[in-house]
Amino acid sequence: MNTLVRENRDTERAQSEQFIAPSASVVEAGDGYTLEVEMPGVNKDGLEISVENNELTIVGRRSRPGVEGKLIHRESRSENYRRAFELDPSIDADKITAKIDQGVVTLTLPKAEHVKPRKIAVS
Amino acid sequence: MSLIRYQPLEPMAWPSLERWSNLRDDLNSLLELPFWSSFSRHGQLFGGWSPALDLYQDKDNIVAVVELPGMRKEDIEISLHDGTLTISGERKSETSNGEKAERTERYIGRFRRSITLPTRVDANKIGATYRDGIVTVTLPKAEEAKPKQIEVK
């Protein structure tokens, strides 16, 4: 029962577009998971999150503010972001919520009611 | 003295890099032993956080663009000293008790990036914005560093 939100690396990419895999953190709390994905340069409009066959896919497209001038030093990458995770069966996919704030996507993945720990009152 | 043949860098192809990132994940999972986890959890085993920095230049300004996702504006420090721009700060952990980190790739802690600017800038007119996890620092060039057109009489 200790499986986490597992990363799916073997997903066949039909698209020819190149993506980079953003950094992510997964935290488990009692009643679900929180997944944080770093996508600097992406705002709400550039974010696509989908669940298909128990696979959660997050795609982030950058909308860089145009900077005037000539690029004289570069470390950033221009590719968009994409990462896929296999969802633990305990997660209720219909109740996943997402927000993006300052380039970090936060997904809340609640566990389905029937798998939540519950206390049984002794009568 | 031995001479080493110059080898131009291959343009970076993502698939090969991804293999490295997978390898790093695999290493991380190997290292999820109690002793190592305290290192890998904070990313320090792999050198900490070095945010990507781009530099632009036009005739009036130098603009530095730094990727710093998930910061609070007040935790970002920008300073200029002897023509070197430094961006530093701290990202704080938001994990509270009763939560268990399953996978931690996001860096928590202090970071510092410095870059030497190609021309002198006017330290009093530096401006910065923070949007979509990207800090944009605009540094107006000092008057003497701006290109000048000399008129021929």
Q: Which of A26, A79, A102 sits opposite B69 (nearest CB)?
A: A102
B145 band by pLDDT with thresholds 50, 70 and 90: confident
Percentage above 70 pLDDT, chain B: 66
Contact B102 A5 (CB under 8 A): yes
Q: Which of A18, A29, A101 sits opposite B99 (nearest CB)?
A: A29
Tokens of residue A87, six digits: 């969802």
Task: In whole angstroms, give the CA distance from residue A13 to residue B127.
Answer: 42
Q: What is the pLDDT of residues A20-68, one digit of tens each?
A: 999 999 998 878 999 999 999 999 999 999 999 889 999 999 986 678 8
The runs of H, that is alpha helices, within chain B are 14-30, 34-42
Location of structure tokens 């200029």: B80
Question: Is the separation of the CB atoms in B65 and B134 below 8 Å?
Answer: yes
User: Is ipTM over 0.90?
Assistant: no
Position A73 scores a pLDDT of: 93
Average pLDDT score over residue span B107-132: 93
Q: Which residue has the higher pLDDT, B43 or B32?
A: B32
Percentage above 90 pLDDT, chain B: 46
Average pLDDT over chain B reads 78
Position A81 scores a pLDDT of: 96
Q: Which residue has the higher pLDDT, B71 or B22?
A: B71
Position B5 scores a pLDDT of: 62
Which of A45-48's residues contact partners 24+ apart within 8 Å by CB, and which partners?
A46/A80, A47/A98, A47/A100, A47/A105
Query: Which chain B residues are Cβ-neighbours of A75 within 8 angstroms?
Result: 52-54
- The answer to whether A73 contacts chain B (CB < 8 Å) is yes
Position A66 scores a pLDDT of: 78
Position B45 scores a pLDDT of: 46
B103 band by pLDDT with thresholds 50, 70 and 90: confident
Which of B22-26, B29-33, B93-97, B109-113 bottoms out in mean pLDDT, i.e. has the lowest? B29-33
Contact B132 A102 (CB under 8 A): yes
B-contacting residues in A 7-26 (Cβ below 8 Å)? 7, 9, 18-21, 23-26
Q: What is the pLDDT of residues B49-68, one digit of tens each?
A: 889 999 999 999 999 999 99
Contact A69 B14 (CB under 8 A): no
Q: Where are the beta strands (DSSP E) in chain B?
A: 53-57, 61-67, 76-81, 84-91, 100-104, 109-116, 127-131, 134-140
Q: What is the pLDDT of residues A69-102, one digit of tens each?
A: 999 999 999 899 999 999 988 899 999 999 999 9
Percentage above 70 pLDDT, chain A: 85
**What domains sit in chain A, N to C, each tagged with a CATH number?**
6-115 (2.60.40.790)
Looking at CA atoms only, how far is residue B121 from chain A in angstroms?
Answer: 15
- Write the class of the CATH domain B49-94+107-145: mainly beta
Average pLDDT score over residue span B13-33: 55
Which sequence spans correspond to the domains of chain B? 14-47, 49-94+107-145
Contact B58 A76 (CB under 8 A): no
